[in-house]
Amino acid sequence: MSHAASVGNCCVKTNKTNTPLLLLFLAIIAAVIAWLVLDRLGGDGDAASKRRGEDRPIPVEIGTIERGPIELRRTFTGTLEASAAFVIAPKVGGRIEELTPDLGDSVAWRQVVARLDNAEFRQALAQAQADVEVARANLKEAESLLEIARRELQRIESLSKRGVSSESERDTAMADLLAREAHLQVSEAQLVRAEAELEAARVRLGYTEVTAGWSGSSEEQRVVAERFVDEGETVSANAPLLEIVDLDPITAVFHVTERDYALLELGQKVVLSTDAYPGESFSGSLNRIAPVFRENTRQARVELVVENSDLRLKPGMFVRATIVLDRVEETLTIPAQALTRRNGNDGIFIVDEENATVRWEPVTPGIREEERLQILDADLSGKVVTLGQQLLDDGSAIILPEPQDTGNSSAN
């Protein structure tokens, strides 16, 4: 009996100990279920409130539909290049005794820009002149010998008629005449060769004076862009001395894509600007359009000619070129912000100010000029939504902006 009683008492103690834990566990489960229910109910309330919010008027900004001219402008970035550039180099080698122009100096047409040591060339010229004199003397001697041979032949022929001279003497005199004639021809050729060598010596001596020669007007001035050597240096033939460039006019080069290429025409006017002269613009015109596109960039080279009489623009400057590619004198335009898309179509929301609603109108956009956009194939008027259209649909109610205060009310 005592053993059974002890067992029963043990069970009673165990039940009393587990009851609070079980109650706590049930309370936690109930709290979680209640939280989930409230969260679901709250979510449904938010969705309902959102649906109710969709019916509320949407505050918007509006703009005006206008008629007038519009231009299609494109601004391209490019670089200035010299319209012409060439390197001056001597045709003979030697030591530079004089190199007058320096970097940035102006150079006139046919101006002597460098002189080389010409002592050897002057000596060669003197030798060639002496050779000419010797050749002339030999020619005179040959002419005299030929004249003597002719007279000798005439004398023998005269004696032969009188029977005094033999036929062999006549043949000898004839052979001597022919030899003198050949000698004369050789002397004449030697004189021509000596005179040619003399002229070549003069030319080589002239090469020691290096001139800035280019095809163009004698009044044209060009500029030294780079100087490669200094006085006293010894250079070989065709070694570069100076780079001469033509800066008036100057060439602006930029590249265009296929989209704009078809709209370019030779002679189109261009306005250029550069960071070197903020706020200033320079005028030019389209001069050359490349007939091919570069394969790596899919762009074509375009060149502009720009007047640069004051030489302010320099090769290598970064420029922006603005070109009017198209112009419409009279067309319908809207603020560019008004254009939006619905179901893959372009359109605008036209404002019904009397009913404070909007109407969706599909449109075809055209030329854009800054903040104005051309509308094609449409005849519209009134005002359009420019801000807030992402919340609108056809027939949506809107809140129109307050009229701007012109200052009259404050004055009153």
3-state secondary structure of 208: coil
The pLDDT-based confidence of 156 (bands split at 50, 70, 90) is confident
Task: State the pLDDT at residue 20.
Answer: 67
Per the structure block, which two tokens stand in for 113?
């820009």
- pLDDT tens track for 184-209: 999 999 999 999 999 999 999 999 99
pLDDT of residue 178: 93
- Residue pair 110/212 in contact (Cβ under 8 Å)? The answer is yes
Q: pLDDT tens for residues 374-409? A: 999 878 889 999 999 888 999 999 998 887 654 554
Q: What is the pLDDT of residue 194?
A: 95
* Band of residue 170 on the pLDDT scale cut at 50, 70, 90: confident
Can you tell me the mean pLDDT for 140-168? 86
Q: How many CB atoms lie within 10 A of CB 206?
A: 15
Q: What is the percentage of the chain residues whose pLDDT exceeds 90? A: 62
Order of strands across the sheet with 209-212?
A: 209-212, 111-116, 94-99, 234-235
More confident residue, 147 or 219: 147
354 near 391, Cβ under 8 Å? no
Q: For residues 233 and 55, which has the higher predicted lDDT (pLDDT)?
A: 233
CA–CA gap between residue 208 and residue 96 (Å, rounded): 9
Confidence label for 52 from pLDDT (cuts 50, 70 and 90): very low
Asked whether the beta carbons of 313 and 79 are under 8 A apart, the reply is: no
Please report the pLDDT score of residue 8 as a whole number: 44
pLDDT of 171: 84
Highest mean pLDDT among 11-20, 34-43, 242-251, 399-408: 242-251
In the three-class reduction of DSSP (H, G, I as helix; E, B as strand; rest coil), residue 295 is classed as: coil
List pLDDT tens digits, range 245-291: 999 899 999 999 998 999 899 999 999 999 999 999 999 999 999 99
Q: What angle do CA 355, 357, 358 make, to 5 degrees?
A: 135
In angstroms, rounded to a whole number, what is the distance separating the alpha carbons of residues 327 and 367? 9
